[in-house]
Amino acid sequence: MSHFDYAGFAAALCGEGDAGGLAAQPGFAVYRNTVISGCVDALIANHPSLATLMGEAWLANCARAFARDNPSRDARLMLYGAGFAAFAGEMPGADAWPWLGQVGAIDYGWLQSHLAADAVPAAALATLAADMPLAPHPAARWFWSERWPLWQLWSSARAGQTPAHLHWQGEGILLSRPAGEVQACVVPQEVCVLLDALAAGQGLQQAVAVVLATVAAPDFTRLMQLLAGAGALVSYQE
Amino acid sequence: MRLGAGLGIKPQHFCDALAARDAGLWYEVHPENYLADGGPRRAWLRRLREEHPLSLHGVSLSLAGPDTPDAAHLQALAALTRELEPALVSEHLAWSRLNGVYLPDLLPVPRTRATLERLCANIGRVQDALGRAIAIEHPAHYLVLPHEMDEAEFLHEMVRASGCRLLIDVNNVYVGARNLGYDAAAWLDAIDGDAVAEVHLAGHSADPLLGERLLVDSHDCAVAEPVWALYTRLIARIGARPTLIERDGEVPELAGLLAERTRAQAVLDETEACA
C-alpha cells in the first residue's frame, strides 16, 4: 500500500467505516478510545465549574456530543472548548439551569486569562477625567448578568461546592492576573460596561460617558479602585 | 551538566521538582501545554529551566501525516525553543492532524517508501524552523498494518535521510512485541546505538476488555520488570543515554517518581563505571 487512507482511518475513529478492515482489529479500539477521551477529558478539565454543577457523567456525555461536531483545530487542548459552555447550556437536562452557559463561559474566560500575554498594568487611576490611553489588560476577562448571580454561582462551583443560599441578583465577575496567577473578584455593572467600551476602542472619556448612559448611579470611586487593584488595564502609550 | 535520568514533569510537582538536586536529573514537558502567549505556566517553565536541563517532547506535529506541520504551531514551538534552549527536542513517528482537525492521539502509518518520504520532509521542516536536530520516537504497535519495510530499516533510513536522531521507548518496544508477537530484545538489538539520543521508560497496562492479549502504553503505573530488563540490556550495549521516566496517569508523589528515576540512573552509572 503506497497511499495510506488517512481519511478512512480518521472516519473509522468516529465509527464511520472500517478503515479497510483495520477497525476490525482489537487494537483499533485503543486509538478510538484515546482520541475520544482526549477530547472529553480536555473539555471537562477546562470547565471545572460545569463539572461541579452537573456532575462529570452528564458533562462527559455533553462533551462527546460537542466533540463530534466541534473537533479541536488546535493541538493545544488547554484551549479546547470555545463555545462548549453555550452548547452545554442548550443540552437536555440543562433547562432547569438557565445560567449554566454563562457560568461555563467564565471557566473558559479563566483559561484565556491564565494563558494571555504578559503586560505591565496601568498605574492606579487618579482620575477618570483625563483622556488617558487605556485598554483592558490582555489577561482581563469580565462577565455581567442582569439576572443571575454569576459570582456566587461560579466561585462556589469553582471551589467544588454546589451553590447554596444564593442571593438572586445580577452580578459581574472580573478575572485578571495582578500577581501572576488568575484572580477573580465580584464587580458591579459599571466595571463591565467601562471595560466593554475600552475593549471596543473607545477612549476613557467616551467609555465613562457610556457608563453614565447605561448604569444608574455608577460608583466611579469603587470602579477605579477595583480596576487598579485587579491590574485590569494597560496604558498603551506607556 | 551531563544528562542522566530525567522525569516527565507534572504541574502538581513544580515546587518539589524545582528544588530537587539529584545528580543528572532533568525534566521533560510536552510543549503543547506551554505554548501560551504569557502567564504563569510559561513563567514557571522559565524558572524551572534556570535550575534544570529541559527536554521538549512534542506530541502533535503530525510528522507522518499527509499535511505539513501546522505553521503557527511550529512558529510558536520555535519561539519556545529559542527561549528555553532545551537540551533535547523530540517528536513522534505518528500523525494526529487531518484537514486542519487535531486528533489527540499518536496515530499509526504503514512503513512505506511514501510514508518515509513525507516523514523526512516534515522532520526537515521542523529542524529548519528550530535550527537543530530533533529526536524521533517510534510508536507502540496495536495494529497489523501493510508495512513495506522492516522497522529498524525504516528508522535508520529516516535518520540517514533527515539527519534526525532516535528516541527509543523501551516500553513501546515491549508493548508492540507482546501485541504483535515479535521479539523485543531482537528489535532493540537491531537498532544502531550511535543514532540513539534519548531513551524513554514508562508503564503499561492490560486492556480492560482483552486483558493481557492487548497491552496499552498507558503511562499510568510503574515501569514493568521486563521493560527494566530490556533497558538494562540496551544501555549495556549502546552506553549511557539520557533516560526519561514517563508518567501521565495515576501520578504519585514526586518522591515515588524520583525513586524510579534513581533506578534508571543506577543503570546509567553502572554502565559508565564499566566503560
Please answer yes or no on whether A115 and B33 come within 8 Å at the CB atom.
no
Chain B residues within an 8 Å CB radius of A13: 103
Q: Counting Cβ atoms within 10 Å, is residue A107 exposed (0-12), middle (13-18) or buried (19+)?
A: buried
DSSP conformation class of A204: H
Q: Which residue of chain B comes nearest to A181, CA vs CA? A: B40
Of A3, A73, A139, the CB nearest to B114: A3
Cell 524521533 belongs to residue: B136
- CA atoms of B80 and A113, how far apart (whole Å): 20
Residue A111 lies in a domain: no
Cell 444608574 belongs to residue: A216
Mean of pLDDT values over B80-101: 97
Are residues A63 and A88 located together in one domain of the fold? yes
Are residues A143 and A92 located together in one domain of the fold? no
Given A74, A101, A128, which residue is the final one in a domain?
A101
Are residues A78 and A140 located together in one domain of the fold? no
Mean of pLDDT values over B240-258: 95
- CA atoms of A107 and A95, how far apart (whole Å): 19
Predicted confidence band of residue A163 (pLDDT cuts 50, 70, 90): confident
Please answer yes or no on whether B103 and A28 come within 8 Å at the CB atom.
no
Residue A210 lies in a domain: yes
Cell 482620575 belongs to residue: A127
Of the candidates B182, B179, B184, the residue with the CA atom closest to the CA atom of residue B234: B184
CATH numbers and ranges of domains, chain B: 5-274 (3.20.20.150)
Mutate to test the interface with B, among A1, A3, A5, A6 (most CBs of B within 10 A): A6
Domain that holds residue A235: 116-238
Predicted confidence band of residue A238 (pLDDT cuts 50, 70, 90): very low
Which cell goes with A203? Answer: 477612549
Task: Give how many domains chain A has, as a whole number.
Answer: 2
Are residues A92 and A120 located together in one domain of the fold? no
Residue A160 lies in a domain: yes
Predicted confidence band of residue B86 (pLDDT cuts 50, 70, 90): very high
Average model confidence (pLDDT) across chain B? 96
Of the candidates B188, B269, B270, B258, the residue with the CA atom closest to the CA atom of residue B26: B258
Of B95, B114, B143, the CB nearest to A2: B114
Q: Which residue of chain A comes nearest to B107, CA vs CA? A: A31
Are residues A187 and A73 located together in one domain of the fold? no
Of A10, A26, A138, the CB nearest to B214: A26
Are residues A120 and A225 located together in one domain of the fold? yes
Residue A152 lies in a domain: yes
For residue B275, what pLDDT is reported?
Answer: 77
For residue A1, what pLDDT is reported?
Answer: 42
- CA atoms of B2 and B272, how far apart (whole Å): 12
Q: Which residue of chain A comes nearest to B112, CA vs CA? A: A2
What would the pLDDT profile of B32-83 be if each residue is shown by its tens digit?
999 999 999 999 999 999 999 999 999 999 999 999 999 999 999 999 999 9
- CA atoms of B120 and B127, how far apart (whole Å): 10
Average model confidence (pLDDT) across chain A? 93
Given A70, A101, A132, which residue is the final one in a domain?
A101
Name residue B168's beta-bridge partners. B199
Of A3, A73, A177, the CB nearest to B39: A177
CA distance B42 to chain A (A): 9
Kind of pairing between the strands at A233-235 and A134-136: antiparallel
Are residues A129 and A169 located together in one domain of the fold? yes
In total, chain A counts a number of residues equal to 238
For residue A127, what pLDDT is reported?
Answer: 61
For residue A133, what pLDDT is reported?
Answer: 84
Are residues A149 and A96 located together in one domain of the fold? no
Please answer yes or no on whether B39 and A139 come within 8 Å at the CB atom.
yes
Please determine, for residue B256, whether its predicted confidence score (pLDDT) is greater than 50: yes
Q: Which residue of chain A comes nearest to B209, CA vs CA? A: A26
Angle at A44 between CA A42 and CA A50, to 5 degrees: 150
Q: Coil, strand or helix: which one is B237?
A: helix
For residue A194, what pLDDT is reported?
Answer: 97
Please answer yes or no on whether B41 and A115 come within 8 Å at the CB atom.
yes
Taking phi first (over 0 means left), then psi (-120 to 50 degrees means alpha), and beta for anything else, what does residue A201 get?
left
Angle at B65 between CA A66 and CA B103, to 5 degrees: 15
Mean of pLDDT values over B182-201: 98
Are residues A215 and A150 located together in one domain of the fold? yes
Predicted confidence band of residue A125 (pLDDT cuts 50, 70, 90): low
Q: Which residue of chain B comes nearest to A72, CA vs CA? A: B102
Residue A159 lies in a domain: yes
Report the amino acid identity of residue B64.
Answer: A
Please state, as a whole number, how many other Cβ atoms lie within 10 Å of the Cβ of residue A96: 6
Residue A130 lies in a domain: yes
Residue A106 lies in a domain: no
Are residues A235 and A120 located together in one domain of the fold? yes
Mean of pLDDT values over B230-235: 98
- CA atoms of B221 and B71, how far apart (whole Å): 35
Which segments of chain B are extended strands (E)? Answer: 5-8, 27-29, 54-57, 88-92, 95-98, 101-107, 135-137, 165-169, 196-201, 205-207, 211-216, 243-245
Chain A residues within an 8 Å CB radius of B73: 74-76
For residue A111, what pLDDT is reported?
Answer: 98
Helix/strand/coil percentages in chain A, nearest 5: 50, 10, 40
Predicted confidence band of residue A81 (pLDDT cuts 50, 70, 90): very high
Given A101, A129, A157, which residue is the final one in a domain?
A101
For residue B194, what pLDDT is reported?
Answer: 98
Taking phi first (over 0 means left), then psi (-120 to 50 degrees means alpha), and beta for anything else, what does residue B37 get?
alpha
Residue A110 lies in a domain: no
Which cell goes with B126? Answer: 521542523
Contacts for B60 with CB less than 8 Å, ≥ 6 apart: A75, B32, B73, B96, B97, B102, B104
For residue B148, what pLDDT is reported?
Answer: 96
CA distance B25 to chain A (A): 27
Among A91-100, A117-126, A204-213, B230-239, whose mean pLDDT is lowest? A117-126
Residues of chain B with pLDDT > 70, as a percent, come to 100
Are residues A56 and A161 located together in one domain of the fold? no
Model ipTM value: 0.94
Q: How far is CA A227 from CA A220, B208, B228, in A?
A: 10, 53, 56
Mean of pLDDT values over B93-118: 97
Of the candidates B134, B135, B139, B137, the residue with the CA atom closest to the CA atom of residue B110: B139
Are residues A44 and A94 located together in one domain of the fold? yes
